[in-house]
Structure 1
Amino acid sequence: MKKVLFATTALVASAGIASAQGVSIGGWAEMGIVGGGVYGDEVQFWTDIDVEFRMSGETDNGLTFGAGVDLDENGAFAGTTQGGEFIFISGAFGTLTMGDTDGALDWALSDVGMGASIDDAHTSHAGYNGNNVMDGFDGKDGQIARYDYSFGDFAFAVSAEIDDSGVDDPTFGVGATYATSFGGVDLGFGIGYQAASGPGFDSSAVGASVDVMFAGGFHAILNYTSYDDVVLGSGLVVDSHYAIGLGYTTGAISVSGNYGMFEGTGDDSQSGFGLQAAYDLGGGAEVQFGYGYSEMDMGGVTTDTDQFSLGVAMSF
């Protein structure tokens, strides 16, 4: 039954490609092994597939519009779709995006995680901050509306996320970026603010990042965020987060490392580091290794765990 449904879906998709300009299908697949404390200290096989549908068009007066859907793993055909979708319209006025997209804070700040590993081991540790703590905050569904506009080396964005239940106030955000070059070094600066409120809480985050690309393949990113009345999923009442990422690429080889810490109230904290290495085989295939180490210090009790992965990632 699944094979028939997949074949039917493929035929419909192929017909769409043949008849509609600006429709494409891509994606990636991963295979390898994973292990470490996160996986119960057992080495396990790992496979993952993501199919990406992208559509775009243009109006008579020059506006561009488009949408995208990600189907994470072939379980989507059995009614267990995972992934997200977004829709945008863009013109001289800027770009409006709605759906599974970044809030203004996340949009503006650079992540310290560089490169890739098949299970994201190097960016799954307890100290890693993807700058999206305020997206989907307090149970919101992650459906975000963001407007962004660029002029020269500057760009800014504003975003909003609504609580569908009507209990909490909307989450609002604003962010700005600036890019420049100096002496052969490319510099990127980002700053952002996001706030959410509701019965019993008034939460906010303000952060900044510096992204430096040196000649010769060296890359460095610094990131800092201050939080107010924000509780992480781990239960940590977080005050601030700081992180650093370093990377180097030469030919087909890339390596990187990152470290981050969430500082909480009192002496509570959670931190970790990640390591990554990859070798590009060409044609969209890459051998990837990842490692992540996490440490939790809560109520005077310290615990730690780790994870690793090794495998091949394929992009299509």
Structure 2
Amino acid sequence: MKKVLFASTALIATAGVAAAEVNFSGYGRFGIGYVEDRSETTIVRGPGADGLNGTADDVLARSTAQTDDVILVSRFRLNIDGIAETDGGVRFEGRVRLQADEDASNGEANSAGLNGARFSVIYGGLRVDAGNVAGSFDNLANYYGNEVGLELFAGQYSGVDYNFLAYSSTGSGANAVFFQYSVGDFSFGASYDQAQATVIGAGGTTSTTVDADRWDISATYTFNNITAAVAYGQTDAGVAGVSDPSLTVLTLGGEWGDFSGTLFVADDATQVASTDGTAWGLSAAYNLGAATTLLFTYGDGNASADTQQVAIGAIYDLGGGASLRGGIGRNDCDSCASDTIVADFGAQFNF
């Protein structure tokens, strides 16, 4: 039966277009995750003072209960890519992603679901994505650096609070456009998201729809073993007299034999006092040999609500696309009641 299904799929994929194909890829991971004083928040909603649900005053009750600090963590991700290439060398791609994660607040399993589709046109050094896309920051070289842990729970970008355009693995995404052009050691990127936001009036009795368009641009240059990248993005506040939130990021990354490292600095102009300021971080990876890689990351910001993260971890390569991964770190901020210890360990296999 399996052979029949695969044969049928191949016939459908190649019918009428000689260079068409369907590819499957992804990974699975599972293990143990620890978060100090892990808790779950329950919200009860109902008609508020205006008699409506979905407004600012429709929360009737909110309660937070402590759950188990140690839970079973897992993820299954399957990318489904449809690809066709014209006789002239223009490549068309479409991707959807099937993903299932645990509920991080209580450790219960979540169902898998498909996300929003991303469509791409690629020719030479030009790439244009439409739909559920990643913007310039999400695509920026060395933005994420060397993240730590099976769940990648810590990164050098932790002090950033600006809401940039990012690919959604489990949702529909923003339905935007991303453009990238590469020539030699230089690449340029830009994205635009035509969005709107709803502003709730005092008491939740009125609401106004305003423009909240997002755009960003980036440039990347690689020389020898070092890559430098810069990106700027801005969101329309949509309210008269309110400055537009923006983010500027500069990254540097390099490799020297068994060692690799990244530096990160950002001007995080969120226009909110508790998060507005400068963010910075760094990360490093060192190959010890014997299939073992050590990782370190640190991120922080000067605003009171910026999250400071510091973590160390390791990856042990088992071969065949499988590895053991884990890490331990700490989360803190100036306005937090206390810091939190986070750790995990488990296995990941790529396919």
Alignment TM-score > 0.5, same fold: yes
Asked if 2 retains the 8 angstrom alpha-carbon contact of 1:128 and 1:260, the reply is yes
Is residue 294 from structure 1 mapped to residue 331 from structure 2 by the alignment?
A: yes
Question: How far has the Cα of 1:79 moved from its partner?
Answer: 7.5
Alignment of 1:186-201 (within 5 A): 186-197=225-236, 198-199=238-239, 200-201=242-243
Is residue 170 from structure 1 mapped to residue 213 from structure 2 by the alignment?
A: yes
Asked if 2 retains the 8 angstrom alpha-carbon contact of 1:211 and 1:220, the reply is yes
Matched AA of 2:264: N
The SS at the match of 1:107 is coil
Q: Structure 1 residues 229 and 121 mapped into 2: Cα distance closer, same or farther (>3 Å)? A: closer
Q: Corresponding residue for 2:106? A: none
Question: How far has the Cα of 1:46 moved from its partner?
Answer: 2.1
Unaligned runs of 5+ in 1: 1-6
**2:137 aligned residue (105, 114, 120):** 105
CA distance in 1, matches of 2:4, 2:118: 24
Q: Structure 1 residues 33 and 283 mapped into 2: Cα distance closer, same or farther (>3 Å)? A: same
Q: Structure 1 residues 263 and 142 mapped into 2: Cα distance closer, same or farther (>3 Å)? A: farther
Question: How far has the Cα of 1:311 moved from its partner?
Answer: 0.7
CA distance in 2, matches of 1:115, 1:147: 26
Question: How far has the Cα of 1:159 moved from its partner?
Answer: 0.8
Q: Deviations over 1:118-174 (max 9, x none)?
A: 322334x9x6268973226xxx95333111101111010111011156622421111
Q: Structure 1 residues 132 and 249 mapped into 2: Cα distance closer, same or farther (>3 Å)? A: farther
Asked if 2 retains the 8 angstrom alpha-carbon contact of 1:69 and 1:83, the reply is yes
CA distance in 1, matches of 2:174, 2:122: 21
CA root-mean-square deviation: 3.1
Is residue 152 from structure 1 mapped to residue 184 from structure 2 by the alignment?
A: yes
Q: Structure 1 residues 226 and 248 mapped into 2: Cα distance closer, same or farther (>3 Å)? A: same
CA distance in 2, matches of 1:274, 1:79: 30
Unaligned runs of 5+ in 2: 14-19, 39-66, 103-109, 167-171, 198-208
Matched AA of 2:262: I
CA distance in 2, matches of 1:34, 1:51: 22
Question: How far has the Cα of 1:282 moved from its partner?
Answer: 0.6
CA distance in 2, matches of 1:310, 1:93: 39
Aligned residues: 290
Q: Deviations over 1:107-126 (max 9, x none)?
A: 23413542663322334x9x
TM-score under structure 2 normalisation?
0.73
Q: Structure 1 residues 121 and 206 mapped into 2: Cα distance closer, same or farther (>3 Å)? A: closer
Q: Structure 1 residues 96 and 132 mapped into 2: Cα distance closer, same or farther (>3 Å)? A: farther
CA distance in 2, matches of 1:205, 1:109: 16
Asked if 1 retains the 8 angstrom alpha-carbon contact of 2:154 and 2:309, the reply is no
Q: Structure 1 residues 115 and 163 mapped into 2: Cα distance closer, same or farther (>3 Å)? A: closer
Matched AA of 1:32: G
Matched AA of 1:315: N
Is residue 247 from structure 1 mapped to residue 240 from structure 2 by the alignment?
A: no
CA distance in 1, matches of 2:6, 2:279: 44
Question: How far has the Cα of 1:211 moved from its partner?
Answer: 0.5
Question: How far has the Cα of 1:84 moved from its partner?
Answer: 4.8
Is residue 85 from structure 1 mapped to residue 112 from structure 2 by the alignment?
A: no
Is residue 285 from structure 1 mapped to residue 278 from structure 2 by the alignment?
A: no
Question: How far has the Cα of 1:28 moved from its partner?
Answer: 1.2
**1:120 aligned residue (117, 142, 152):** 152
Asked if 2 retains the 8 angstrom alpha-carbon contact of 1:161 and 1:171, the reply is yes
Q: Corresponding residue for 1:223? A: 264
More helix by share: 1
**1:135 aligned residue (159, 162, 165):** 165
Asked if 2 retains the 8 angstrom alpha-carbon contact of 1:290 and 1:308, the reply is yes
The SS at the match of 2:84 is strand
CA distance in 1, matches of 2:4, 2:139: 36
Q: Corresponding residue for 2:85? A: 58
Q: Structure 1 residues 112 and 274 mapped into 2: Cα distance closer, same or farther (>3 Å)? A: farther
The SS at the match of 1:15 is helix
Asked if 2 retains the 8 angstrom alpha-carbon contact of 1:192 and 1:206, the reply is yes
Asked if 1 retains the 8 angstrom alpha-carbon contact of 2:92 and 2:121, the reply is yes
Q: Corresponding residue for 1:208? A: 250
CA distance in 2, matches of 1:130, 1:143: 23
Q: Deviations over 1:2-52 (max 9, x none)?
A: xxxxx99x9867632454242111221112111131635632222221111
CA distance in 2, matches of 1:14, 1:71: 22
Asked if 1 retains the 8 angstrom alpha-carbon contact of 2:162 and 2:269, the reply is no
CA distance in 2, matches of 1:152, 1:135: 26
Question: How far has the Cα of 1:280 moved from its partner?
Answer: 0.5
Asked if 2 retains the 8 angstrom alpha-carbon contact of 1:71 and 1:84, the reply is no
CA distance in 1, matches of 2:311, 2:145: 8
Asked if 2 retains the 8 angstrom alpha-carbon contact of 1:31 and 1:47, the reply is yes
Q: Structure 1 residues 61 and 203 mapped into 2: Cα distance closer, same or farther (>3 Å)? A: same
